[in-house]
Chain A
Amino acid sequence: MEREIISTKQGTFMMVIFVIGSSIVLGSSVEAKQDIWIAIVVALFMSLPMLFVYSKLLTSFPGKNLYYILEEVFGKVAGKIISLLYVWYSFHLGALVLRNFSEFVQVISLPETPQTIIIIFLGLVCLWAAKAGIEIIGRWTAFIFPVGWFVLLITIPLSMSKMHLINIKPVLHNDLKPVLSSAFSFFTFPFAETVIFTTVFNTLRNKKKTFKVYLSGTVVGGAIILLLSVRNILVLGVHITTDLYFPSYMAVRTLSIGDFIQRTEITVATFYTIGVFIKASVCLYAASKGVAKILNIEKSSQIVAPIGFLMMNLACIVYSSTMEMFDWINTYKYYAIPFQIIIPVITLIIAKIKFYVKN
């Protein structure tokens, strides 16, 4: 089988779409209120060292993905156990993303359609993409990104007339604590979720640019999230933004230019669909890579399908209501710490020590 290769550009775009994928519609953190933009900026800065850790891991073992690195660093057995944890993490994340989407669709427009159907449909296209490989996902993102970018951002100037600057004032009047807490939420979801790319980016054509891809992907994604969050607050006001499950959708819903451009919320739904598709496909791909590595299976594409089905299952049963889903976000930020911070940092340190001892 040919080795899969993705270009720097494709990698960056994949990362951007991964980062904004599900954050674009979910009102993830409400504590910071009108200071949400500060929280996002802080979260970006918080994630920089982690991005460095991730890319350092990859560049220290060129051409190897996280699962290989774990086995090499921790030995066969311990490495496999930790790999299993990452398989679970990406698998679980993929399921959550699928579920978020189906909740969104059900709440917003298709209340009578069972979520199972939406999950199956989306799951099948993700399965297809993950089975076809990371190259296809990379091409996909590079193709769709310019269009999506344009559609997503055009809504900002269009809703300019509905913005009220007063909504974002006063700046940083409330305590710093909620801002930091929000920042931490933003750090774990979505910025540090890019840890999943450590299992993917061994396919980058230019290995030296791994950090650049990480950095530019996250920063561009973060900037888009920032713009959209600020837009939401400016248009809707703090109270409504924090009340709503899907503030972006609502903010675009209020947009109308004359009688002609109105009811444009479908643009948000479209981009959300694309984002979710990319994110879930990458998660599924990462999970099946891990399983293949653990079980010593040569072609990971052969086992994508059963894992994909299991992911759909998990998505179906993971929450029993929309409220529960939004509750979970509070737990998630703690749940993600070991995967996003502890294990990568420890791995990097041990790897460096081993490297040092060897020489």
Chain B
Amino acid sequence: MMIIIPICSIIFLLFIIFDLAPRFIEKQWKVFWFYTVLISFSFVIHILVVLDFKLPSPAVPIKRLVSYIFGLQG
């Protein structure tokens, strides 16, 4: 499992270099900040997933919400 971390890191790094850096150079700040925030967030989650952290799935609250609205059982 651990081997995924370097793979992920390299993929992320590649995207940062070839996709994010041009935005910085072209001074597209909105895109740049949006990109930076999302990609760092994704990276953290990826690492956590690989390290087997139990992350809460968004499916669970949605399920609860849906069952609450439609009055479903469980």
B39 touches A334 (CB 8 A): no
Whether A303 pairs with B31 at a CB distance below 8 angstroms is: yes
Pair A331/B7 contact, Cβ less than 8 Å: no
A176 contacts partner chain B, Cβ-Cβ < 8 Å:
no
A75-103 vs B: 1/0 string, CB under 8 Å?
A: 00000000000000000100000000000
A303 touches B57 (CB 8 A): no
Instruction: Give the contact-size bracket for chain B.
Output: 35 or more
Task: Give Cα A120–Cα B55 distance, bound, in whole angstroms.
Answer: 18
Determine if A306 and B66 form an interchain contact, defined as CB atoms under 8 angstroms apart. Answer: no
A310 and B38 in contact (CB under 8 A), knowing A114-B1, A317-B49, A334-B66?
yes
Known: A305-B35, A319-B57. 4 other contacts (CB 8 A): A316-B49, A324-B59, A331-B72, A335-B63
Q: Is the CB of A320 within 8 A of B57?
A: yes
Q: Is A328 among interface residues, defined by CB-CB distance under 8 A?
A: yes
Least distance between A312 CB and chain B CB atoms (Å): 7
A297 with B31, Cβ < 8 A, contacts A313-B42, A331-B63 known: yes
Q: Is the interface of A mostly helix, strand, loop or mixed?
A: helix
Query: Does any Cβ of B come within 8 Å of A60's Cβ?
Result: no
In the bound complex, residues from chain B placing their C-beta under 8 Å from that of A307 are: 38
Residues of A with Cβ closer than 8 Å to B? 92, 114, 116-117, 120, 124, 291, 295-297, 302-303, 305-307, 309-310, 312-314, 316-320, 324, 328, 331, 334-335
Contact partners of A331 in chain B: CB under 8 A? 59, 62-63, 66-67, 72
Name 9 interchain pairs, CB-CB below 8 A, sorted by A: A116-B46, A117-B7, A297-B31, A312-B46, A318-B58, A331-B62, A331-B63, A331-B67, A334-B67
